[in-house]
């Protein structure tokens, strides 16, 4: 057994996935094996030894299903096929094997709120009003304004800007899509549709040996099917923010329990991590993650990703300056809510839908970026819950340079906001909106995380020998795996060390009770993790200035376990310094 392998404690309460470190792979951008400029599964297989050496226990593979790729594979046209550019079903089976061979596991992304409009189910559904799959999606007649103009059946604004309804000429009705018009929403109220989802999207892959799923958009499957209009918050517009119309709908817990009973439970301790949006009440979150509820193993509460985003859906990409106390409240809330319950939580600060953590929460200036990457690593490894790393986070990859033009941005969501802003500028509605959106995209765009992985300093960073589908970061010669593997002081080496420490002190870091010490301080973040009389003290400086180390008095009986500086000063935290102290004995 490798030193990093997950300890399986057969108590039924410490499931294998609780202590796992899970690493998210975005297949298009990880490793290209055949020079077509797109990452692929054989490329990923070639890097499994690398992930193993990092200390990763589980690979989460973002969608690799067949897809027209309007939303980078979150628009699935066939759950039982792999996108040819990524490989084949056999390649995924080889990947399962490659992971299992090293004591690692593989989980897939389960995208079952919607399909692609190219999925055969939707093709049938749209073919006629009396097709037997008509009701597998949501079709509604139009409504008309006082002048007889046709309007969508409700006023909902979707995630990618624009209405959630698209008109279908052929059958003269609208269909619902929370995301792009190429992503029609499945109607989970239809039992035959649910059964087909379970068979095709879930069982098909469990039968191939995958160990679980990250469950996309997990609380949006149950809609208020009478489709009432959303309250009008912007009188200038027909479409209105409406997420409450589809998040945590009336039958959502029933659906998730059914999926658990019928498709997951029979396969043993399958892990599920739900992407849970718009659910601020911890008591409600517990309904999803309590072990006795038998729905999901854990969820991502997305608040940390929303730091710096505009307050409303329309303003998502208008950057909003934030304070450290905001991050502290978020972390405290989602670290603490499971204490004393049978639920479980997650720890993450990056994924494929957000900018890079160093650029957002630390500093990506050359003199600080490594320090900030390590400081954030200390914060993450000390957190209770299952830990998630996103590809490139382990080498401190940073956001794309601010001077990249919008053409380098490929994501359908960011482009939707940009184009909407352009229309508002052209119409004289909001002359500065385009600049404000571009500024926000420079910090927050989903594209930042989707730049190709930086493996080495050869042309195209060792990601591909061909033309990469997305531009490489200008700094790949300075920030790459190869350089960091041979540097004892690198961000990568630091992550290896602290991931090992996380396992060594698992009772404190993975299972400990969280308590914040300096809530009102806007510069430093100090917290305690404790369990059975032992404790760890974590002190983090989020600024580029020295800060007083206000908790120094506590450290008398503790030892310094790890720091991102070699020359720590007792009374002061240096720029972006992070330290963890540990009590060796019970106190």
Angle of the 282-289 helix axis to the 252-259 helix axis, nearest 10? 20
In the complex, the smallest distance separating the C-beta of residue 82 from Ca ion, rounded to whole angstroms, is 12
Tell me: does residue 447 bind ligand GLC (CB under 6 A).
no
Complex with ligand GLC: residue 348 or 576, whichever CB lies closer: 348
Phi then psi for residue 156, to 5 deg, are: -75, 140
179 lies in the site for ligand GLC, by CB under 6 A: yes
Judge whether 195 and 153 are in contact, CB under 8 Å.
no
Taking the complex as a whole, how short is the minimal distance between the CB of residue 360 and ligand GLC, in angstroms? 17
Supply the Cα-derived Rg of the chain in whole angstroms. 24
- Partner from ligand GLC, Ca ion, none contacting 353, C-beta within 5 to 8 A by type: ligand GLC
The item of Ca ion, ligand GLC, none sharing an interface with residue 217, based on CB under 5 to 8 Å by kind, is ligand GLC
Footprint of ligand GLC on residues 347-366 (CB under 6 A)?
Answer: 352-353
Q: List C-alpha distances in Å: 60 to 107, 209, 260, 273, 507.
A: 5, 14, 19, 10, 24
Q: Which of 57, 211, 216, 364 does the annotation list as catalytic? A: 216
Residue 27 C-beta: closest distance to Ca ion, Å: 9
* Residue 577 token pair: 């310094």
38 binds, among ligand GLC, Ca ion, none (CB under 5 to 8 A by kind): Ca ion
> Min. distance of Cβ 31 from Ca ion in angstroms?
9
Q: How many CB atoms lie within 10 A of CB 473?
A: 23
State which residue, 42 or 162, has the beta carbon closest to Ca ion: 42
Nearest distance in Å: CB 179, ligand GLC: 5
**φ, ψ (nearest 5 deg) of residue 435:** -65, -40
Q: Is 74 in the site for ligand GLC (CB under 6 A)?
A: yes
Active site residue 216: yes
Give CA–CA dist 68/187, Å, rounded: 21
Cα diameter, the chain: 78
> Bridge-partner residues for 140, per DSSP?
174
- Which of Ca ion, ligand GLC, none is residue 66 near (CB under 5 to 8 Å by kind)? none
* 101-120 positions binding ligand GLC, by CB under 6 A: 111
- State which residue, 64 or 539, has the beta carbon closest to ligand GLC: 64
Contact status: 71 vs Ca ion (CB under 5 A) = no
With 0-12 CB in 10 A as exposed, 13-18 as middle and 19+ as buried, what is 341?
middle
What residues pair up with 165 in beta bridges, in sequence order?
A: 176
| 71 binding ligand GLC? (CB under 6 A) | yes
Quote the CA–CA distance of 143 and 135 in Å, as a whole number: 20
| Residue 275 is among the residues annotated as catalytic for this protein | yes
Active-site residue, from 185, 275, 413, 420: 275
Q: Within positions 32 to 61, which residues make up the interface with Ca ion, using CB under 5 A?
A: 32, 34, 36, 38, 40
Q: Residue 426: which H helix or E strand, with range?
A: helix 412-426
Indicate whether 65 belongs to the interface with ligand GLC (CB under 6 A): no
Cα–Cα distance, 390 to 453 (Å, whole number):
11
Q: Which two tokens stand for residue 561?
A: 């376990």
- Binding region for Ca ion (CB under 5 A): 32, 34, 36, 38, 40
- Binding region for ligand GLC (CB under 6 A): 71, 74, 111, 179, 216-217, 275, 352-353
């Amino acid at each position: 057994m490798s030193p990093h392998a997950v300890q399986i404690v057969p108590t039924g309460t410490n499931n294998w996935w609780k202590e796992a470190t899970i690493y998210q792979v975005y297949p298009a951008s990880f490793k290209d094996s055949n020079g077509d400029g797109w990452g692929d599964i054989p490329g990923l297989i070639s890097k499994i030894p690398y992930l193993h050496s990092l200390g990763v226990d589980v690979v989460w593979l973002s969608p690799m299903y067949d897809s027209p790729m309007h939303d980078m594979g979150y628009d699935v046209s066939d759950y039982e096929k792999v996108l040819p550019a990524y490989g084949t079903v056999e390649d995924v089976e080889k990947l399962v094997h490659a992971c299992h061979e090293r004591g690692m596991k593989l989980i897939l992304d389960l995208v079952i709120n919607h399909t692609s409009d190219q999925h055969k189910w939707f093709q049938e559904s749209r073919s006629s009003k009396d097709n037997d799959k008509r009701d597998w999606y949501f079709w509604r007649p139009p409504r008309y304004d006082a002048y007889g103009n046709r309007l969508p059946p409700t006023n909902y604004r979707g995630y990618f800007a624009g209405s959630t309804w698209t008109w279908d000429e052929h059958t003269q009705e609208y269909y619902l899509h929370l995301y792009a018009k190429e992503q029609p929403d499945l109607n989970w109220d239809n039992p035959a549709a649910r059964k087909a989802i379970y068979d095709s999207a879930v069982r098909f892959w469990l039968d191939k040996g995958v160990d679980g799923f990250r469950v996309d958009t997990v609380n949006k499957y149950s809609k208020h099917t009478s489709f009432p209009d959303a309250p009008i918050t912007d009188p200038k517009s027909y479409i209105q923010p409406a997420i409450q119309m589809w998040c945590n709908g009336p039958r959502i817990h029933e659906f998730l329990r059914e999926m658990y009973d019928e498709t997951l439970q029979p396969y043993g301790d399958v892990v599920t991590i739900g992407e849970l949006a718009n659910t601020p009440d911890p008591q409600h979150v517990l309904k999803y993650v309590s072990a006795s509820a038998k729905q999901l193993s854990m969820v991502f509460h997305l608040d940390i990703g929303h730091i710096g985003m505009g307050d409303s859906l329309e303003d998502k990409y208008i950057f909003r300056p934030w304070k450290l106390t905001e991050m502290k409240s978020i972390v405290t809330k989602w670290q603490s809510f499971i204490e004393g319950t049978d639920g479980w939580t997650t720890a993450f600060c990056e994924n494929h839908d957000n900018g890079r953590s160093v650029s957002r929460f630390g500093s990506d200036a050359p003199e600080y970026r490594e320090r900030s990457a390590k400081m954030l690593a200390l914060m993450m490894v000390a957190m209770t819950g299952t830990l998630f790393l996103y590809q490139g986070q382990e080498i401190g990859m940073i956001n794309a340079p601010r001077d990249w033009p919008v053409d380098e941005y490929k994501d359908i969501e960011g482009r939707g906001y940009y184009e909407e802003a352009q229309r508002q500028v052209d119409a004289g509605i909001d002359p500065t909106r385009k600049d404000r959106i571009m500024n926000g995209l420079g910090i927050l765009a989903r594209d930042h995380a989707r730049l190709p992985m930086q493996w080495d300093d050869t042309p195209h960073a060792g990601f591909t020998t061909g033309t990469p589908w997305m531009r490489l970061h200008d700094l790949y010669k300075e920030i790459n795996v190869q350089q960091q593997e041979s540097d004892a002081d690198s961000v990568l080496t630091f992550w290896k060390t602290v991931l090992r420490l996380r396992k060594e002190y698992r009772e404190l870091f993975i299972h400990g009770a969280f308590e914040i010490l300096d809530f009102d301080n806007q510069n430093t973040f100090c917290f305690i993790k404790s369990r059975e009389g032992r404790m760890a003290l974590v002190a983090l400086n989020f600024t580029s200035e020295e800060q007083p180390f206000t908790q120094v008095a506590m450290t008398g009986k503790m030892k310094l376990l790890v720091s991102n500086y070699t020359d720590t000063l007792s009374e002061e935290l240096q720029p972006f310094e992070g330290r963890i102290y540990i009590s060796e004995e019970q106190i």
